[in-house]
Every structure is written in C-alpha cells, then in structure tokens.
A and B are shown apart, each in its own frame.
Chain A
C-alpha cells in the first residue's frame, strides 16, 4: 500500500530539487525527512536504505529509489509527463540532459572557492546564452506551440522552467534576448500546480546560503 512519496535529503536544493519540482508539477503531495547531521546520514547507511550509499533517496510505491535520473524518469512516466511515444521520450531525454548540465554547473557554484566566483558566473551566463537557451528558444519557435514536446506539458518543460529561474537568480536579465522563453516562463509559471509550488510556504527550497553550505560540507565530509 503506497502513501505519499517520502524524500530523504538535506533541507536544501541540491540534487533533490528537480524531484520536488516534478512531483509538485504532477500535483503529487510528498513528505520530506531531512538529514540534518552526520548521524542522520549514518543511520540511513547503517539501516541499509541507500543502495549506493548516496542520497537523494525517495521512498515511492514500495521502492527505495536512488539516483536522481532514475527517480525523475519514474515520476515522469508514472504521471504522464514523459510524452506519448518513444520519439517524444527521446526528445524529452535530450532536453532534460541539457538543462541538467546547465543546472549542474550552478549546483556546484557554492562549493567553489570565492576567488572563482566571477569566473563561474561568466561561465553560467555564457553557457546559458550560447549553448542552452538558444536551443530551447529555437525548439519553441520551430514547434510554434506552448510546450517543448508534442504540444503537451512534459518533464522537459518543468525542468526548463526550473533552469530558467535558477539562472535568473544569478543574472536577472538572462532571458533578454529570448522572447519565446520569456513567454514560456510566464505560461508555465501559471500552470496551477506550478504556480502553487512557486508560492511561499511550498516545499520549494531557497538558494543555498552560508549555513546550508557549511551543513552539507559537514554531513558529507566535503
């Protein structure tokens, strides 16, 4: 018997945030158990709950799922956010791998030395505006529709919105040369489940701060 999915992670974005986004977009309520100390992590490990000794871990439908992509794919497929056939799935997979790479750069930023901050900011801006956003702008242009794939809302759209908002936190005018992405952002943000997730009080996590970074370093021995 399955209850709500239960997310095991630290109380911050990291690799779990995309999972929170996708569950929220699908309108799925979920619980969270936060790892706050090294001992919390050690308990998960000694209880044998982490297949490869790593988090994220999501208890869902009787499974203890690990590996971010595996979890995301399962949720997408289960809640009809993975397209209607193999070809749509292929497009969705390509697009989310792109946004994963972009968000990956941002995820590691807080753990880089302060001297590298300016360089990294330039890297994010460069990659966003020359490698990734032009692709999605073109997809929207060529498709001529509201969504990236197949004229329906999919995981690819959720992931792209997450990436856009994340980059905007670093450079608020990052979409200035991408009118279709601006419209896309407005549209997707207004989808009721997403709108709800974007409001205060939701399970969306704030950007990392000093306290969070220190906690993560301590728990994971970084």
Chain B
C-alpha cells in the first residue's frame, strides 16, 4: 500500500531539491520530515537525502531520482531514450552541483565560482541543450513528452538565473523551453508560493546544515 512519499532532509534545497522538483512535475504530493541529526539508523550509508517510498527507505539522490522517473513515466520509452536522458541529467547535475555548494565558499571564492558557473553554463552546458532542441525540433529534450531531462534542465536554468539573470540571453530556444515548461500545470504549481520548493540558501540555512551534518 503506497502512501505519500516522505522526504527526510533539512529545510533547504541541497541535494533534495531535484527530488522535490521531479515529484512535483509528476504531480505527486509529498509528506516531509525535517531531520534533526544524520546519525539515524534508518539511513543506509548514514546520509541524506532519504525518501520513504513504496515501502523502501531510499537513499542516494540519483537512485531516488531514477526510481521516481521510471515509476512516473518520465524516463523515456526505451533504452536509447533512457541513455539520452541519463547523459543530459548528468550534465545538468554537474552544473547544479556548482551552484549547490556556492554558499559554502568565502566571498573571494564565491566570485571565482560565479565566473565558473557562468562559463560552464554558457560555454559547456546550455549550448548543448540549445542544440538538442534545435536538432530535435520538438518541445522536449527527448522523445515527444516531458521527461526527467526537461525537469532537471528547468531546475538548472532557474538556479543559474538566480545568480546570473541574463544567462539565457544567447539561447533563444532555451528561453522558449523555459516558458513552455514553466507553464506545465504541475510545474506552474510548484513555482508558486506555498509549494514544497525551497528558497536559495541564506545565513540560517548554512547554520542549520552545519549543525545537522556535524560540521564545524
């Protein structure tokens, strides 16, 4: 018997945010549990994210995302589509990871990291997805329907825009993509206030994360 998936993390984006995005895109309601400490025995490798779903206590972000995508028909129709989706989400994952850790850096390091984020977004990742949309000539990155690849790309775009608001200026197809995907009802709902979407990290987030993860 399946109830709502339950997300165990602290109250911030971190590694859990991509999971929130994907569940929201699939129209799945979640319950959440705010984690106090990570030395809980329910965590397979003593780490979060952890998601209670379909009788499992799943850990490892990619494993959780892969399960949700497959279960909710967001993983393409065959092995080849799956391969493309996997390549694309690994790319956006690398970009998101640059931003995910940004708040941990000193101000000087942040300046450098910002330049790196901008460079990677505009020279490595976004040109690839712009070209995919151009070559593909359809609304989505893979096949003819929304997949995990589209959801993670929109997440990445919005995250980069929070840091570099003009980042899509040279990518007209990605601009259209952004508009289209943001208007999909489940995603539109997730982008509205009151959803499970978390804000970018601020001071209190850093303090909480350090406490939960036993960092000095």
Chain A residues with CB under 8 Å of chain B are 51-53, 61, 63, 65-70, 73-74, 77-78, 86-87, 89-90, 93-94, 97-98, 101, 131-132, 135
Known: A63-B83, A93-B66. A69 touches B90 (CB 8 A): yes
Asked if residues B60 and A65 are in contact (CB atoms below 8 Å), the reply is: no
B124 lies within 8 A of A73 (CB) = no
Is B184 an interface position by the 8 A CB rule? no
Which A residues touch B71, using CB under 8 A? 86
Total of A-B residue pairs, C-beta within 8 Å: 75
Residue pair B90, A67 in contact (C-beta under 8 Å): yes
Given known pairs A89-B70, A135-B45, the reply for A51 and B128 (CB within 8 Å) is: yes
Q: Given contacts A51-B91, A132-B45, are A90 and B56 in contact (CB under 8 A)?
A: yes
9 nearest A-B residue pairs (beta carbon): A70-B86, A93-B63, A97-B60, A67-B90, A94-B63, A70-B87, A90-B67, A74-B83, A94-B60
Q: Does B19 contact A (CB under 8 A)?
A: no
Interface size class of B (residues with CB under 8 A): 20 to 34
Can you list 25 contacts pairing A with B, beta carbon distance less than 8 Å? A51-B91, A63-B80, A63-B83, A65-B87, A66-B87, A66-B90, A67-B90, A70-B83, A70-B90, A77-B79, A78-B79, A86-B70, A87-B54, A89-B66, A89-B67, A89-B70, A90-B63, A90-B67, A93-B62, A94-B60, A97-B59, A97-B63, A98-B45, A131-B45, A135-B44
The answer, among A61, A67, A98, A101, for a CB contact under 8 Å with B91, is: A67
B46 touches A131 (CB 8 A): yes
Of all chain A residues, the one with the shortest Cβ separation from B59 is: A94
Q: Is the interface of B mostly helix, strand, loop or mixed?
A: helix
User: Considering the chains assembled together, what is the distance between the CA atoms of A66 and B94 in angstroms?
Assistant: 13
Q: How far is the CB of A101 from chain B (nearest CB, A)?
A: 7
Chain A, residue nearest B85 (CB): A70
B205 within 8 A of A: no
Q: Are A69 and B63 in contact (CB under 8 A)?
A: no
B20 within 8 A of A: no
> CA A87 – CA B70 in complex, angstroms?
10
Chain B residue nearest in CB terms to A75? B83
Scoring B residues 168 to 204 as 1 if CB is less than 8 Å from chain A, else 0, what string do you get? 0000000000000000000000000000000000000
Q: Which residue of A lies closest to B128 (CB)?
A: A51
Interface pair A97/B46, CB less than 8 Å apart: no
- Closest B residue to A53 by CB, please name it: B124
Residues in B with CB closer than 8 Å to A93 are 60, 62-63, 66-67
Contacts of B91 in A (CB 8 A): 51-52, 67
Is B58 on the interface with A (CB-CB < 8 A)? yes
User: Is the CB–CB distance between B44 and A51 below 8 Å?
Assistant: no
Bound: A67/B61 CA distance, A: 16
B71-93 Cβ-contact flags toward A at 8 Å (1 or 0): 10000000110110011001100
* CB neighbours of A69 from chain B (8 A): 62, 86, 90
Considering the chains assembled together, what is the distance between the CA atoms of A51 and B128 in angstroms? 7
Contact B86 A52 (CB under 8 A): no
